[in-house]
Amino acid sequence: MKLSDRLSCVAQHVLPGLPMADIGTDHGQLPVWLVRTGMVPSAIAMDLRPSPLSVARRQVAMAGVGDRVECRLSDGLEKLTEREVATVTICGMGGGLMARILGAHPEVRESVARLVLQPNNDVEKLRRVLQALSWGICAEELLIEGRYVYPTIVAEKVVVSRCYDESELAFGPLLRVARSEAFVEMLEREARQVRRVLGQCQGSPEATRRFEARLALVEQELGRG
């Protein structure tokens, strides 16, 4: 089994040698791959829906790792117990939903050593929630595949939470420092998109002000390079 580039970005940040749980596992490829390669001793593949979980079970059976990968029907962290795993991964859903999942079971969340998150929207909202929950961002990656942008956020619990500024929350505190080609392309894409939206906002002063402010923030970030 070969992981996609998107899931490989997540896999490389899972704490090695320790159990992990994949929330919203869908096909179960990530936990199966991590166990088969020996990166983790065991994994829990969790999903809210029975249908994708049945696909994950077949994947586990075909890979011959049923003794090390358990599939659980669960709404987020609901069926995970405290200190059961070291890493929790969440991929393929919106940042708002991830924020809800992380806030629903604080006792489980606080017993985890690392979160590896790959939201497909509302990334800024997710960073704000991590900051509010005192989870510090220790690594960030950015992958662009076609028209899709995949940010990966790695967070660990901190004693004193750093207060990120608006640009760091919007674009990623570590992504801004690394300033990769993908990062610049992401900004250029957003600038074009916001300009298009602004052209359609005539007659809505509130929306115009909101998008003008966003465009100014993006252009300021582009100019920083």
**What pLDDT, on a 0 to 100 scale, did the predictor assign at position 2?**
87
Per-residue pLDDT reduced to its tens digit, 116-173: 999 999 999 999 999 999 999 999 999 999 999 999 999 999 977 789 999 999 999 9
Q: Which residue has the tokens 């005192």?
A: 134
**What pLDDT, on a 0 to 100 scale, did the predictor assign at position 98?**
98
- For the residues of 75-131, what is the DSSP string, one character each? STTTTPPTTS-SEEEEEEE-HHHHHHHHHH-HHHHTT-SEEEEEESS-HHHHHHHHH
Q: What is the pTM of this model?
A: 0.95
Alpha-helical regions (H) of the chain: 5-11, 29-36, 50-63, 95-104, 106-109, 123-132, 166-171, 173-178, 181-198, 205-223
Cα separation, 215 vs 172, in Å, equals 17
Cα separation, 132 vs 153, in Å, equals 15
3-state secondary structure (DSSP) of residue 209: helix
Query: What is the mean pLDDT of the segment spanning 54-83?
Result: 97
Residue 89 near residue 23, CB atoms below 8 Å:
yes
Residue 204 has pLDDT above 90, yes or no: no
Per-residue pLDDT reduced to its tens digit, 12-42: 999 999 999 999 999 999 999 999 999 999 9
3-state secondary structure (DSSP) of residue 61: helix
Query: What is the mean pLDDT of the segment spanning 42-50?
Result: 97
